[in-house]
């Protein structure tokens, strides 16, 4: 690819030479058509303010159709044209459901878009401002860049901003008091060429979604800047920016993913984000749909056991989750969709290893969990107080100790360990009845458990429920626990 010369204005330079380097310790990639990026803006600002860190904010224009299919709504709100699979539609619908939940919590509006917008013009507007404002000013609340972001994000998600109209972007620059002389020529010429080139290079460097955070001062094993996709990583990013990496102090333990909430959040705010507003009957238990072979379920275990210690009863529901798909090997000629799926798959596997308490021997594990699940169902009926202990033991056996849990003998040993000798002395645990269950009615009970998960529409492990409201992933636990405590 031809390398363009750096763009320069008022002493500022934008260079294509290394898209993963910066004068700032943190690069933040955003796209105006991403609701997840929209929701990440304020938490990222708050983190930067608390740490006194200046970020390098950059636009990254998503090509959603290349990996998630396309869709367009007619005026009546019905789908006029689309190229999505049922699985892709389910993912999109849940994403908007989840984003609205957190938007309501923060008094923001997110309306579903009527099409996949081309957001190159607003991106070019960001580059224009970055050429006319130094890095420190770009991070100030009253700076041009932050005002520009707000002036686009908020009306865009109210369906009041045409991101594909040059005059609309120009008027936004006027609105915030930014320089405008020469902008239209820039947007149609040099700025457009620069943006096209930097988008390609950023994607080829491994950025595939937004918000993506890069820390140039912390290179990974491949020599590239450490990279995090999603605002749930802000706790770990803040920990790294504070210089706690490698610290021996137990208090400096690396934090897990979390959609963090304000410490002073009130029940009224929590009520706004519920899918069925109104204080409901207090839910003391937490349904957990999980799969032993799911590494994400395993990584959720510490957070769930902490919730149990707050007297929140964990209600374990096994289901057969599709294993993580191993990405294909890189090919000499890849289209954008193929490359996106590959780098996304590589990132997910690397991210699991990053947060795991030890090396995961195979994040793509596809073992049969039926025997382990039947052991769980048996305990739920005969010794419900031992279930949490059993679940923990099975997870550790599989992921830490690399034991084959497909073996009925292994599961029998784990059940024996959970129950202890006293159970046999008192006749509370009849191994003969247990074996008969596994070989007979247990199969029927397991099929019914899997059917219930399918009827619920569960497709991700782990998935939690408050009433009929689903939450996917352990990053949701702060909101789940806050609402359980508040009875919302």
Mean pLDDT of 165-185: 97
Question: Does residue 86 lie in a domain region?
Answer: yes
The residues, ordered by sequence, that sit 6+ positions from 247 with a Cβ below 8 Å of its Cβ are none
Residue whose pair of structure tokens reads 């849940």 in the numeric block: 94
Return the sign of the alpha-carbon dihedral for residues 422, 423, 427, 428.
positive
Question: Does residue 318 lie in a domain region?
Answer: yes
Question: Which domain-ending residue is among 235, 269, 294?
Answer: 235
13 or 41, greater pLDDT = 41
Distance CA 232, CA 329 (A): 28
CATH number for the domain that contains residue 432: 3.40.30.10
Question: Which domain-ending residue is among 208, 235, 262?
Answer: 235
* Tens-place pLDDT, residues 43-97: 999 999 999 999 999 999 999 877 655 555 445 555 454 554 666 557 678 999 9
Residue whose pair of structure tokens reads 């006319």 in the numeric block: 132
21 or 479, greater pLDDT = 479
Tokens representing 126 are: 């960001």
Peptide bond into 66 cis (omega under 30): no
Question: Does residue 111 lie in a domain region?
Answer: yes
β-partners of residue 215 are: 226
231 and 295 in a single domain? The answer is: no
Distance CA 147, CA 145 (A): 5
431 and 299 in a single domain? The answer is: yes
457 and 317 in a single domain? The answer is: yes
Question: Does residue 450 lie in a domain region?
Answer: yes
Domain tally, the chain:
2
Question: Does residue 167 lie in a domain region?
Answer: yes
Task: Report the pLDDT value the prediction gives residue 251, as an integer from 0 to 100.
Answer: 55
- pTM of this prediction? 0.91
Question: Which domain-ending residue is among 213, 235, 257?
Answer: 235
143 and 290 in a single domain? The answer is: no
Question: Does residue 117 lie in a domain region?
Answer: yes
32 and 164 in a single domain? The answer is: yes
Peptide bond into 117 cis (omega under 30): no
294 or 437, greater pLDDT = 294
287 and 219 in a single domain? The answer is: no
Up-side HSE of residue 30: CA atoms within 13 Å toward CB?
29
Q: Taking all residues of the chain, what is their mean pLDDT, rounded to a whole number? A: 88
Up-side HSE of residue 318: CA atoms within 13 Å toward CB?
24
Q: For residue 333, with 0-12 CB atoms within 10 Å meaning exposed, 13-18 middle and 19 or more buried, which class applies? A: exposed
Task: Report the pLDDT value the prediction gives residue 275, as an integer from 0 to 100.
Answer: 78
Cβ-contact 157, 110 below 8 angstroms: yes
Return the sign of the alpha-carbon dihedral for residues 156, 162, 166, 171.
negative
Residue whose pair of structure tokens reads 């595939």 in the numeric block: 208
290 and 173 in a single domain? The answer is: no
110 and 16 in a single domain? The answer is: yes
Question: Does residue 290 lie in a domain region?
Answer: yes
- Residue 367: which pLDDT band, with cuts at 50, 70 and 90? very high
pLDDT at residue 182 greater than cutoff 70 = yes
Mean pLDDT of 347-370: 96
pLDDT at residue 424 greater than cutoff 50 = no
Q: For residue 130, with 0-12 CB atoms within 10 Å meaning exposed, 13-18 middle and 19 or more buried, which class applies? A: buried
19 or 214, greater pLDDT = 214
Task: Report the pLDDT value the prediction gives residue 437, as an integer from 0 to 100.
Answer: 80
Residue 400: give the domain boundaries: 277-323+365-486
Question: Does residue 203 lie in a domain region?
Answer: yes
% of the chain beyond a pLDDT of 90: 70
71 and 154 in a single domain? The answer is: yes
Task: Report the pLDDT value the prediction gives residue 73, as an integer from 0 to 100.
Answer: 45
119 and 192 in a single domain? The answer is: yes
Cβ-contact 286, 312 below 8 angstroms: yes
178 and 291 in a single domain? The answer is: no
Least confident of 110-119, 278-287, 295-304, 306-315: 278-287
285 and 177 in a single domain? The answer is: no
Mean pLDDT of 241-245: 85
Distance CA 475, CA 258 (A): 4
* Tens-place pLDDT, residues 183-240: 999 999 999 999 999 999 999 999 999 999 999 999 877 778 899 999 999 999 999 9
Cβ-contact 292, 398 below 8 angstroms: yes
Mean pLDDT of 370-390: 94
């Amino acid at each position: 690819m031809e390398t363009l010369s750096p763009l320069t204005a008022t002493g500022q330079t934008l260079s294509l030479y290394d898209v993963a380097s910066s004068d700032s310790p943190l690069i933040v990639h955003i796209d105006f058509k991403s609701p997840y990026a929209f929701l990440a803006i304020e938490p990222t600002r708050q983190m930067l303010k608390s740490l006194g860190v200046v970020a390098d904010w950059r636009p990254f224009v998503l090509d959603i159709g290349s990996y998630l299919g396309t869709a367009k709504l007619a005026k009546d709100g019905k789908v006029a044209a689309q190229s999505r699979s049922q699985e892709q539609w389910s993912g999109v619908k849940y994403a908007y459901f989840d984003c609205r939940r957190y938007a309501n919590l923060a008094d923001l509006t997110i309306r579903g878009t009527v099409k996949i917008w081309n957001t190159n013009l607003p991106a070019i507007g960001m580059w224009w401002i970055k050429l006319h404002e130094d890095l420190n000013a770009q991070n100030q609340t009253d700076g041009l860049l932050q005002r520009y972001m707000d002036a686009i994000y908020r009306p865009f998600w109210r369906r009041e901003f045409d991101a594909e109209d040059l005059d609309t972007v120009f008027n936004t620059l006027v609105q915030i008091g930014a320089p405008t002389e020469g902008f239209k020529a820039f947007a149609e010429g040099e700025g457009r060429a620069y943006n096209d080139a930097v988008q390609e290079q950023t994607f080829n460097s491994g950025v595939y979604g937004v918000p993506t955070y890069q820390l140039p001062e912390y290179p990974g094993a491949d020599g590239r800047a450490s990279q995090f996709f999603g605002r749930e990583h802000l706790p770990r990013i803040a920990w790294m920016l504070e210089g706690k990496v490698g610290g021996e102090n137990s208090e400096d333990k690396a934090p897990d993913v979390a959609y963090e909430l304000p410490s002073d959040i009130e029940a009224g705010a929590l009520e706004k984000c519920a899918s069925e507003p109104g204080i409901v009957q207090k839910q003391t238990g937490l349904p957990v749909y999980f799969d032993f072979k799911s590494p994400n379920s395993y990584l959720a275990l510490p957070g769930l056991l902490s919730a149990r210690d707050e007297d929140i009863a964990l209600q374990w529901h096994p289901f057969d989750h599709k294993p993580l798909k191993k990405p294909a090997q890189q090919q000499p000629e890849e289209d954008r969709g193929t490359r996106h799926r590959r780098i996304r798959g590589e990132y997910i596997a690397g991210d699991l290893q990053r947060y795991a308490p030890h090396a995961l021997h195979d994040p793509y594990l596809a073992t049969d969990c039926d025997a382990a699940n039947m052991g769980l169902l048996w305990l739920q009926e005969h010794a419900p107080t031992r279930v949490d202990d059993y679940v923990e033991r099975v997870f550790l056996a599989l992921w830490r100790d690399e034991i084959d849990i497909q073996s009925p003998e292994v599961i029998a040993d784990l059940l024996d360990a959970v129950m202890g000798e006293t159970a046999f002395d008192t006749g509370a645990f009849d191994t003969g009845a247990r074996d008969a269950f596994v070989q007979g009615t247990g199969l029927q009970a397991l099929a019914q458990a899997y059917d219930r998960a399918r009827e619920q529409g569960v497709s991700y492990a782990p998935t939690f429920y408050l009433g009929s409201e689903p939450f996917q992933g352990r990053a949701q636990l702060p909101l789940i626990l806050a609402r359980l405590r508040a009875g919302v």
